[in-house]
C-alpha cells in the first residue's frame, strides 16, 4: 500500500467519506483514516431526520454505500487511529500506531463523540445497561423501564425509538423545557410511555451485573428509581486530540477555521462536526466536505 497521497482525510464519518469521494472525482489520490468503523455517529441512527438524498434507508446503509463508492473510485481506506500530525518541507506526516504516511494536504473530518455524564456507574455499566444506541439496543429492553438524558433532537428521537420496546421511558432533562424541534416535542407529548422529567439530573447508575436503578436529583432532593437502561444524549465533544497545538480551537475544543474552512495551519482543513460553527445536519457536514475538497483541488492543480 502506498504511504504517500495528495490528501489524507482523517475520519470516515459522512463528512470524511464525502470529502474523499469529491477529492477522487477531482483526480486526486486520497486516503481515509478511521480508528473505529466507517459511518461515525450516523450508524446509531436508523431514521435520519432530515435525511440527505440517498440516505432514506438509514445511517448504516448510507455510510456503507458511500464507503463502497469511494473504494470503487480508488480511495485508500486505512483502519488505524491517527496519533499525530507534523509538517515538514511543505508536506504533512500522519503517524499511526504502525507507521507514517505523507500527504500534501490534510482534511480533519474526525467528527465528535457523545458526551458522558461522568457519574459513578456510567463507565462500569457500559454495555450492561448503559448504551449509546437506541436502534441497536432497544430490543434488549423489551417491556423494561429505561432513561434517556438530554433535551435536544437526539435525546427525543432516542426516547421515541425506545418507546417502541419499553414499558416506560424517563426523559430526564436538567432544564425546564426541551430544545428539540417542535415535531419531536409533539411526538413525545403524544406518547403514553415517555415521562418527561424536567429540572432533574442523574447522580449515579446502580446495580449488580446490570443497571438496576438510577439515583436522580430533583428540587425535592435525591431519590432512586428503578431503571434497566441509561441512554445519554447531552451533546458532543470533538475528536481531535491528535492535532498539533498550533491548530486553533474554540473554548469547547472544536476547530476554528477561516471562511474557506482552512485551519490556522495552512494545508490543514476541517469539515463536519469537528469544526466550530458547522450546523448539526448531515447536509451541513456534506456541504463542508465538498467545499473543502473543491478548495484543495484548486490549490493542488
C-alpha closest to that of 111 among 19, 222, 203? 19
**What pLDDT does 58 receive?**
57
Sign of the CA dihedral with 47 first, then 52, 53, and 55 last: negative
pTM: 0.80
**What pLDDT does 255 receive?**
98
**What pLDDT does 1 receive?**
56
Range 130-232: architecture per CATH: 3-Layer(bba) Sandwich (3.50)
What does the domain layout of the chain look like in residue ranges? 4-113+236-300, 130-232
Q: What does the pLDDT look like over 179-209, one tens digit per residue?
A: 999 999 999 999 999 999 999 999 999 999 9
Identify the segments of the chain with pLDDT beneath 50. 39, 46, 48, 55
Q: What's the full length of the chain, in residues? A: 301
Question: Read out DSSP for 24-78?
Answer: HHTT--EEEE-SS-TBGGGGG-SS-SSPPTT-TT-HHHHHHHHHHHHHHTT-EEE
Q: What does the pLDDT look like over 47-71, one tens digit per residue?
A: 545 555 554 555 677 788 888 999 9
The listed CATH number (3.90.1150.10, 1.10.760.10, 3.40.50.970, 3.50.50.60) that belongs to domain 4-113+236-300: 3.50.50.60
Q: How do beta strands 211-218 and 201-207 pair? A: antiparallel
**What pLDDT does 62 receive?**
76
Q: Do domains 4-113+236-300 and 130-232 have the same CATH topology?
A: yes
Amino acid at each position: 500500500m502506498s504511504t504517500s497521497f495528495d490528501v489524507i482525510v482523517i475520519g470516515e464519518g459522512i463528512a470524511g467519506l464525502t470529502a474523499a469521494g469529491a477529492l477522487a472525482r477531482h483526480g486526486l489520490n486520497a486516503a481515509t483514516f478511521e480508528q473505529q468503523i466507517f459511518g461515525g455517529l450516523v450508524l446509531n441512527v436508523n431514521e435520519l431526520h432530515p435525511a440527505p438524498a440517498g440516505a432514506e434507508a438509514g445511517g448504516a446503509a448510507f455510510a456503507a454505500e458511500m464507503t463502497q463508492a469511494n473504494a470503487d473510485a480508488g480511495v485508500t481506506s486505512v483502519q488505524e487511529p491517527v496519533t499525530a500530525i507534523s509538517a515538514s518541507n511543505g508536506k504533512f506526516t500522519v503517524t499511526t500506531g504502525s507507521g507514517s504516511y505523507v500527504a500534501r494536504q490534510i482534511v480533519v473530518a474526525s467528527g465528535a463523540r457523545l458526551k458522558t455524564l461522568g457519574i459513578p456507574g456510567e463507565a462500569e455499566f457500559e454495555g450492561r445497561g448503559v448504551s449509546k444506541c437506541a436502534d441497536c439496543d432497544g430490543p434488549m429492553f423489551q417491556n423494561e423501564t429505561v432513561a434517556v438524558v438530554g433535551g435536544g433532537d437526539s435525546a427525543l428521537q432516542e426516547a421515541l425509538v425506545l418507546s417502541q420496546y419499553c414499558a416506560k421511558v424517563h426523559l430526564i432533562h436538567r432544564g425546564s423545557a426541551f430544545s428539540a424541534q417542535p415535531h419531536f416535542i409533539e411526538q413525545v407529548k403524544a406518547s403514553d410511555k415517555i415521562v418527561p422529567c424536567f429540572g432533574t439530573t442523574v447522580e449515579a447508575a446502580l446495580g449488580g451485573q446490570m443497571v438496576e436503578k438510577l439515583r436522580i436529583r430533583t428540587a425535592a432532593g435525591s431519590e432512586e428509581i428503578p431503571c434497566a437502561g441509561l441512554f445519554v444524549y447531552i451533546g458532543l465533544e470533538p475528536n481531535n486530540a491528535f492535532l498539533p497545538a498550533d491548530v486553533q480551537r474554540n473554548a469547547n475544543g472544536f476547530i476554528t477555521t477561516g471562511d474557506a474552512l482552512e485551519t490556522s495551519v495552512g494545508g490543514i482543513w476541517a469539515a463536519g462536526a469537528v469544526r466550530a460553527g458547522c450546523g448539526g445536519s448531515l447536509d451541513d457536514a456534506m456541504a463542508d466536505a465538498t467545499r473543502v475538497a473543491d478548495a484543495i483541488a484548486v490549490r493542488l492543480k
